[in-house]
Structure 1
Amino acid sequence: MPLVTTAELFTRARNRGQGLPAFNVLHLETIEAIAAGAERTGTGVVLQISQNCVRYHGGLAPLAAASRAVAESSSAPLSLHLDHAEDLDLVREALDLGFSSVMYDGATLDYPENVARTVTAVSAAHAVGAIVEAELGEIGGKDGAHAPGVRTDPAEAARFAADTGVDALAVAVGSSHAMLERTAELDTDLIAAIAAAVPVPLVLHGSSGVPDASIQAGIRSGMVKVNISTQLNKMFTAGVRERLGAQPDLVDSRKYLGAGRDRLADEVARLVDVLTMVTTA
């Protein structure tokens, strides 16, 4: 089916009291696996391409075209989102390529500069009917993200949303990027306080390090979009290792990459169920 917009998926998730699954793309096999997992559940998900991924491939357009092609041949409703962009030129390129949502990440900037740059991104996106996610309260390394100083303050979050006009806000509430073990615990009281103070949907980054039950508790407390990348990478790599371990003489990369793709699709379907079998009602 044609790409749906991330705004549509946000609305659907909020109306149902569910989480919105958002999965990071690394390469074509990832896109195919995410689409396959989403098709099994019949649930809409967000395909995310990060600035780091763009850097790896040397450009945004080829992977964006592949994502669109897979989405348009899929029976699942999929949207296309730019993740963690610190470069406003990349934001503009994504909008030109038809992305329905972008994340401008100014979390490491001081407050006035983060606001100014986010406003620029919001203006560009809204001009073409797209939406913007921003970040307040750095979601950084494993240790730093658990320190009180990097948690998002509800009052500052409300001020930031009002000052920028963002459509979604990523907040620091106990998760951390690139965790290999699922041991982080979300501060559900903080999530509830931010959700009460901020009119736009909240986004959880670093979800791979959070146990399923804690993610579900976060959704019940007011979290909406849930970003997942490292957990998918773990499953893809496990599938590749298992195939190569069983058949060490393999040289046809399709055979072991296909095993990784299948394992990733299984995990996508499982995670979609985890995130959408929650109701806040």
Structure 2
Amino acid sequence: MALVNVDTLLQAAEEGGYAVGAFNCNNMEIVQAIIGAAEAEKSPVIIQASQGAIKYAGLNYIVSLVRTAAESASVPVALHLDHGTSFEQVIQCIGHGFTSVMIDWSKHELEENIKVTNQILQVARPLNISVEAELGKIGGTEDDVVVTDREASFTDPEEAAYFVQQTGIRSLAVAIGTAHGQYKGEPKLDFDRLTAIKEKVQIPIVLHGSSGVPDEALKEAIRRGVRKINIDTNLREAFTDGVREVLAEKPNEIDPRKILGPARDKMQERVVEKIRVFGSNGKA
């Protein structure tokens, strides 16, 4: 199956009342784990690459891996740029075959965010490529994107309405209490704020920094309009757990396949768990 865009997946999720998982990839085993889980659960899936992933694996490798996986898959797969922080990088990803991109200009003033988002939309829309924007600042660290606790701020519902009206964006990442990376305690999401935002914008909402958020909280967020949920840290944890288990049992093992294979399986199990929480299983 050819790669699809994210707007198509999120519109179906909006109509069906579920969320689609967006899982970060860095190498072949991770792509295989994500696709394997989506196939097993008959779920649409978004595979996304961050700036760190692109630096590590290379843009051509990322695109080739995901495109190969999608072409042999029986479920819809989208390839998304996570946290694009420069116009040039976003355009480069579009040129290489990404079917969806995120322009993250949330650290800038509102009008500047609107301006740059519209510049990306002018390029992407004629090519049927989805664009995600962000409003509010989500705390934590994800590769090259760092937002301190002091800088982090929640999304204002009125600003969200104005932003959507000025851009016509079709999916919006919001800050309601999640953070990138591992949590030190249990995150508390501002569900009332989420409801207010959804009532104002009437488009699919994206939740970043969702690893470590309790399942019930994610389900409540979905009930209130979240349609795309980003997961990265949980996948890293599962993968490294698998590596550690192999090396603890067989410290002299030198075959990468025997080390990375079980790690891939651990990660696939975690993706399956998330897909079921999101309610996208059986929706392909």
TM-score by length of structure 1 reads 0.93
Which whole-Å deviations, capped at 9, do the CAs of 1:35-64 have from their partners, x for residues lacking one? 00111100101010112211223x312211
Residues 146 and 175, structure 1, Cα contact 8 Å, conserved in 2:
no
Are 1:245 and 2:248 counterparts? yes
- Pair 148,199 (structure 1): closer, same or farther in 2 beyond 3 Å: farther
Distance 1:36 1:214, change over 3 A: same
Aligned to 2:37: 37
* One-letter code aligned to 1:83: D
Compared CA separation, residues 97 and 124, structure 1 to 2 (3 A): same
Cα distance, 1:110 vs. partner? 1.5
TM-superposed CA distance for 1:199, in Å, is 2.6
The 1:277/1:47 distance shift into structure 2, 3 A limit, reads: closer
Q: Counterpart in 2 of 1:5?
A: 5
Distance 1:111 1:81, change over 3 A: same
Deviation larger for 162-171 or 264-273: 162-171
Aligned equivalent of 1:113: 112
Partner Cα distance (1:231, 1:181) in 2: 14
Query: How does 1:66-105 map onto structure 2 within 5 Å?
Result: 66-105=65-104
Question: What displacement does 1:11 show?
Answer: 1.5
Question: What one-letter code is carried by the residue in structure 2 that aligns with 1:260?
Answer: A
Q: CA 1:145–1:190 in 2, change beyond 3 Å: closer, same or farther?
A: farther
Paired residues, number = 277
Partner AA of 1:22 in structure 2: A
Task: Note the residue ranges of structure 1 that are not aligned, 5 or more in a row.
Answer: none
Does residue 175 (structure 1) correspond to residue 178 (structure 2)? The answer is: yes
Q: Does 1:264 align with 2:267?
A: yes
Identity across matched positions, percent: 39
Q: Distance in 1 between matches of 2:86 and 2:29?
A: 26
Structure 2 distance, partners of 1:147, 1:22, is 27
Asked if structure 2 preserves the Cα contact closer than 8 Å seen for 1:18 and 1:276, the reply is yes
1:196 to 196, 199, 202: 199
Find the aligned partners of 1:271 and 1:36 in 2 and give their Cα distance.
13
Letter aligned with residue 47 of structure 2: L
What pairs up with 1:103-252 in 2 under 5 angstroms?
A: 103-141=102-140, 150-180=153-183, 183-252=186-255
Going from structure 1 to structure 2, the CA distance change for 1:213 and 1:277 (only over 3 Å counts) comes to farther
Contact 1:182–1:210 (CA under 8 A) maintained in structure 2: no
TM-score (norm 2): 0.92
C-alpha separation in 2, matches of 1:52 and 1:194: 30
Instruction: Provide closer, same or farther for how the CA distance between residues 184 and 145 of structure 1 changes in structure 2, counting only shifts above 3 A.
Output: farther
Q: Distance in 2 between matches of 1:182 and 1:60?
A: 35
Q: Report SS of the residue matched to 2:93.
A: helix
Shift of 1:146: 7.0
TM-aligned CA deviation for residue 180 of structure 1 = 4.6
Distance 1:196 1:258 in 2: 45
- CA distance in 2 between counterparts of 1:71 and 1:240 reads 26
- State the distance in 2 between where 1:55 and 1:115 align: 27
Q: CA deviation at 1:148?
A: 10
Mapped to 2, the partners of 1:181 and 1:205 lie a distance apart of 17
Change (3 A) 1:158 1:113: same
Residue 210 (structure 1) shift: 0.8
Structure 2 vs 1, CA of residues 108 and 115 (structure 1 numbering), >3 Å: closer, same or farther?
same
| AA partner of residue 30 (structure 2) | T
